[in-house]
Structures are given as structure tokens and as C-alpha cells.
Structure 1
Amino acid sequence: MAMQGTLLEFILGWLMIPWRIFVEIYRHAFPPANEAGEHEHEGMLDASSGDITIDKRELSHWTKLSQQWWDPEGDFALLHGFNHCRIPMILDAYSKYIAQKPLPDTNPLRGAKIIDVGCGAGFVSEPLREYGADITGVDMVPAVIELAKAHWNERHPTEIGPDYLCTSVEEISSQRPEEFDMVLCLEVLDHVANWKEFAAQSCRLLRPGGCAIFSTINRTLAALIIAIIGGEHLLRIVPMDTHHLRKFIKPSEVEYELNKHGLVQVNLTGCTPVDPWARRPRWSDVSYCGVTYAITAVKRA
């Protein structure tokens, strides 16, 4: 992957590696006191508000980066590349578990009701809408939602785009339970304050017989080295302080929580770049799930 940043930034990033490794391992073993309770720590909104999955520090982080989302050479270039495996995965899941037949070449998702929870600037919502899906995109960063709307209107000024909403998963799940054929939570779980509650509310949105896809980063030494040290310090292709080992989640933990809410795992796959030295690499599904992975699950009818 092509590196990004000034020589001084690279040197500082490399010099910080031993300290970052120590901090990540220490905070994984001994979480900060203000994170001891998932519902009360100061980085979240008050639990009485009902929005107990929202992490204010994450909102601040993504707000600062909001104008870079659609820059193909910016800090989100890595996420752009994910669509090479995520979009085919979504189409395949819809074909197998919802339509239960091959999809047409034109508008393959026509009639599909899909919600993209934590949609960001629309990397996934936008192409799914182009495939004909009736898609709702939800995110808690107002600037990012406005950017998503503007990008669609710039590219498709005469067409109806995704229904982008700036709201929490708790709010929309209370208003529209069991409404959607598919629920997507892609690269989101490790950025919320209470991932178990976030997953539970996302499951609530899914109709019986519907299909959900959750993707995130595994809590492994490989993920620490590749996602944090490699991505943030060595290559600087991910904004610093984006990921933290203590917030990574093992696939078995996600599967357990999904089972509690009536979903059965039907597929587990990893993801790796096929051209790792590109600035905007293309990603492909692999069997190794030690770094990034995606779980596909179906809700019991």
C-alpha cells in the first residue's frame, strides 16, 4: 500500500510504535476506569437518553474527518477498496437467503429493503441504491450524512437516492422494528460504546427470515500488528487513533450475541487486499479471519 504523510510524520509514527504497543496491550488488560462500565463512561451519552451505544469521542473523531470520505486518495482510501468484496457479498447473501434464486443483471436488488447502520458517507448505501435497493442509511455524524446526500445528488441529480437519516440505532429500531430484509453493520462494531447493545438493536430491525451482515476486526495479535501498527504507524493509511485493541471483537463473541437475538450464523469469511501495495487496494474474501472478518446470519422465522 502506498504510504501517506511527510517524512517527519513517518519518523514520529515509527518512533511511537513501542509505546503504542505497550498502551494497547495494557489498556486491553486493564481498561481505563471510565470504560469499566459500558453504559456509564464519560465518552458516552447519558444512558437515560436511550442512546447507550453512542461514543462521543468516536463522533468527534469522525466529524473531524468528515470532508475526506469521498477523496479517493485521502484517509478513507482503504475503505473504498472494501467494496470489491463487500458488495458482491451482499448480493450473494440476498440471492441465497432472501430471494433464494439468481438475481437479474439489471437492478438485482429491486424491491429489497435494506438498512445500512453506521453508513458513513454512503460507500455501501450508494452502490446498493444504484442496484435498485430501497435502502436506508443511518449515521450519528450530521456532517457525514450531509456529505452522503450531497455526493448522491452530485452524481444522480434527477434520481431518488438512499434515505439518509442522522439518528441512532436505538431510535430507528424503536420506530421501525422488523421492517428490513437485510441489515448491514459494516466496520462499525469496534467504533461504538456498547457493541452488544448496538448489535441487539440492529437485530431488532431485521424481519424474521431476513439476513444480516456484521463485519469488524478480530481481537488478535495479528490485528494489532496489521490494523494498528501497520495501518496507522508504518504506512499511515489509516488516521491515527482510529482503532484500539480493546475494542476489537472475536467472531465467536459476535455469533453468541446474534444467537441471543434469534439469528443463526450461516457464513464467516475474512478479507484481505489482493494488491496490498496500492494506495486504494482491492479486497477479496479469504478463509483467514485473524484480522478482518464478516459474519452473515439469518433471523429465525
Structure 2
Amino acid sequence: MDLFPLTFPAIDPVLVEIGPLAIRWYGLAYVVGILAGWRYAVYLARLYGGRPNSDDVESVVLWATFGIILGGRLGYVLFYELDSYLQDPSRILAVWHGGMSFHGGLLGVTAGIVICAWRREIPLLKLADAVAPVVPIGLFFGRLANFINGELWGRVSDVPWAMVFPGAGDLPRHPSQLYEAFLEGLVLFAILAVLAHRPSVRVRHGVITGVFLLGYGLSRITAELFRMPDPQLGFLYGGLTMGQLLSLPMVLLGILLVLWGQYRASREPQTKTVGQGKNEISVVSNRAR
């Protein structure tokens, strides 16, 4: 064990107080993540040209924001502390006390994408592919906020960068929030950004979404190996955590979507994309099917 572990930096979870109003780092992370994701999605829409356009993106961001908040909160209640909230249902509305689930938020965002795709008559997977690359931006800021709050800390460790978190005893632990910020945020964003800028990938609807689901699922399963399980749940089936169990279906669905996108592309006439953005055109060649 490291004789001189790092000490968690004493950062006040409240960024600033204006009278009775308290602006917290966690809330700020949501706002910054949504705004940054929105701007990047608009940039991609203008780069691609066609549908979804910037108006479509602004609509889906609005629906997705509601999905993040409602789905994230209800997901946490259902997946992590159902018995506790059933004893006092009024606590469900107290989102300022914390308690959000990524997997619940993802379901909420999915519902928002489905509604927007239906209302605006855009192919579902095509719209999902436009949204997927921006999600890691929000994840990155959210995990940094988890670190600032000193929550969701890791398991006991003797690695040189292990640190003692407030409320977690005197033993140094993995800063697992930063691991997740790196894997779910930076690495996944870099992969999706590269794919999103490749016309040959964009025409294979569902591939980018599939890579996101696969990448997030594997990142979360890996990060959970260093993160303490939720105390009210502990380890579940086969020593897995709730986060790992909820991520396994994402991995499977991601693989299926990638294969489906590849299969659909192989069954359609071969296209060659010429140009970029609004000047982008597709030249179709007739080949045996």
C-alpha cells in the first residue's frame, strides 16, 4: 500500500450561491454537456448536408434533453433504489439531491429520437447516427462532475495515483470517475468522430450507433472493475455489478447494429461519395446483387 496516497482535492460541490439559488458543478456539467453536444451535432449536420439538418438536430436535442432528465431519474429509481423510493415517493422529484442513471437516460434519449424521427419523417437509424457521436461529450463532463462531488469512487488500490476520498474511509482508492471520463468520454468521442467524418461509414445507417453502444458497453464494463459497486446493491449475479449487467445488452445490440448496417450496405447498389458537405453527391454503380 502506498504510504503517501494522494488526497482528494477539496472542491465544493456548489460552484456559486446567489441568494437561495445554488449552482452546482453537477448541474453545470449537464448544461455544458448538452450545449457542447448540440453545437457539435449542428456542425455535423451542416457538414453532411441533407437530412437531418440543423433544424432537425435542434428538435432532437430538445427531446433528448427531456429524455436525459426523465429517463435518467426514473432509471436510477428503478435500477438502483426502488425500495427506498417506494417508501417515500416524493423523493423521486428531488433531483437536486442526486441520483441519475446513464442507462435510464439512454432509454429516455432513445424515446426522444424515436419521437423526433417519426414527427420529422427521418429514418430512425440515420437520426440515431447523427446523435450518437455527441453523447460522449456529455458523459465526459458528467464524470468530471462525479469526481468533483467525490462520489462513485473506486475500489481500494495501491497504484501511485490512488487517493483517499471523503466518506470512503482512510484507504486510497482508484479515481474510477476519471477512468470513465477517459474511456466513455475522450476515447469513445475520438472513435465516433473519426467514423462520423467518413462518408463510407455514414451511408451504412446504424453502424455509428452500433459502435457507440458497443464502445460504451465495453468501457463501462471495464471501468466497473475498478469502481465500487453501489452499496445498496453490492455485487450481483456472478460477481457482476448493476452497471455491468445493464451494459451487456448494449454490447450485444451494438454488435447487431454494426452487422445490420454492413449487411444492408452489401445488399444495396454500391455508391461512391464525391465532394463534402452540401457539395457531396453519391455516384451509384450497378453491380450484381
Greater strand content: 1
Where relative contact order (Cα < 8 A, 6+ residues apart) is larger, the structure is 1
TM-score (norm 1): 0.28
TM-score (norm 2): 0.28
Greater helix content: 2
